[in-house]
């Protein structure tokens, strides 16, 4: 380590659907986190390791923080997601609060309350500036937000278009602590490939059936076997209703085949070799409330 070597954890924090996973993917230069237009796509924390010379940024992509319904109507999976995000705040060196350029919302205020309890420096990222019809609207928004919190900096950006990412990285690196790198320069994440494979399958479900079968699905990989030049995967897509199973399979199995094909292509991109993917659909009405099932999927 030389005197300028820096390394630290950066929490990507925000309400659902503000583009945290998209931001991580574009910083990483690869599709590591799954994305969809549906909020709450991210269910648990995902580490992305980005090494830039003497600086190593350890990004933690978190589920969107949202208000939980009271009583039994708050599903265990939703509690898990929010707890994952909140627990991250106490373990990061820098927090990135990501909001939508269309304006501050009450949900953003909820997230800020959690951030205000921590001592980590907070950088405000105003995402999706490419959606603004009138770019002059950005300046008064920035001035307004300066009064909300002692942000170390405010960075307008478009994660999808890749705009402003260099400025954001420069701000992050400035606030990282001095110290040796925690991972090798070639490492990209600490997640096993079996996890990334299950997430790839879930993404294709979300993208194809996000309206018909919203968030009531989970993926369990039953077998992951690497052979010479071939990775074989058996996975089960769990749904909560028989009607969801019919939708998932589709007429003559076409929908499930389409999901499998798209997921296989994504997994082949990750493992850089041929993949044989077998998918089944099972009904488990209480999976999102079952401790054993949540543990099976890693939601513990």
Is 6-175 a domain of CATH 3.40.50.300? yes
Alpha-carbon Rg for the chain in angstroms:
20
The boundaries of every CATH 3.40.50.300 domain in the chain are 6-175
Number of Cβ atoms within 10 Å of the Cβ of 252:
8
Question: 41, 60, 58, 40: which is closest to 49 by C-alpha?
Answer: 58
CA distances from 86 to 13, 49, 60, 116, 177 (A): 9, 21, 12, 12, 22
The boundaries of every CATH 3.30.300.20 domain in the chain are 193-296
193-296: CATH architecture: 2-Layer Sandwich (3.30)
Per-residue pLDDT tens listing for the chain (300 residues): 456 899 999 999 999 999 999 999 999 999 999 888 877 788 888 999 999 999 999 999 998 887 665 544 456 777 788 888 888 888 899 999 999 999 999 999 999 999 988 889 999 999 999 999 888 889 999 999 999 999 999 999 999 999 999 999 999 999 999 999 999 999 999 999 999 999 999 999 999 987 787 567 899 999 999 998 899 999 999 999 999 999 999 999 999 999 999 999 999 999 999 999 999 999 998 887 888 888 787 775
**Torsion angle of alpha carbons 111, 165, 37, 239, nearest 10°?**
-80
pTM, entire model: 0.89
């Amino acid at each position: 380590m030389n005197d300028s070597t820096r390394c630290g954890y950066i929490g990507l924090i925000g309400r659902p659907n503000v583009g945290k996973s998209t931001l991580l993917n574009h910083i990483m230069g690869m599709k590591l986190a799954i994305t969809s237009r549906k909020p709450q796509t991210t269910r648990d924390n995902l580490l992305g390791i980005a090494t830039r010379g003497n600086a190593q940024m350890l990004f933690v992509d978190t589920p969107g923080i949202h208000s939980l319904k009271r009583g039994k109507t708050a599903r265990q999976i939703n509690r898990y997601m929010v707890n994952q995000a909140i627990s991250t705040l106490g373990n990061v060196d820098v927090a990135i609060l990501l909001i939508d350029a269309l304006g501050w919302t009450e949900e953003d205020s909820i997230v800020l309350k959690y951030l205000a309890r921590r001592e980590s420096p907070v950088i405000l990222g105003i995402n999706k500036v490419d959606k603004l019809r009138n770019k002059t609207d950005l300046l008064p928004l920035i001035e307004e937000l300066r009064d909300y919190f002692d942000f170390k900096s405010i960075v307008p950006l478009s994660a999808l278009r890749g705009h402003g990412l260099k400025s954001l990285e420069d701000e992050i690196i400035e606030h990282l602590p001095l110290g040796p790198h925690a991972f090798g320069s070639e490492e990209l994440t600490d997640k096993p490939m079996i996890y990334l494979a299950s997430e790839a399958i879930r993404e294709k479900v979300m993208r194809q059936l996000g309206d018909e079968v919203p968030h009531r699905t989970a993926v369990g990989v039953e077998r992951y076997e690497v052979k010479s030049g071939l990775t074989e995967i058996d996975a089960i897509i769990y749904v909560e209703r028989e009607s969801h199973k019919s939708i998932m399979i589709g007429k003559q199995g076409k929908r499930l085949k389409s999901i499998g094909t798209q997921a296989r292509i994504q997994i082949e991109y990750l493992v850089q070799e041929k993949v044989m993917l077998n998918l089944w659909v099972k009904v488990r009405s209480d999976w999102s409330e079952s401790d054993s099932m949540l543990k099976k999927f890693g939601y513990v």
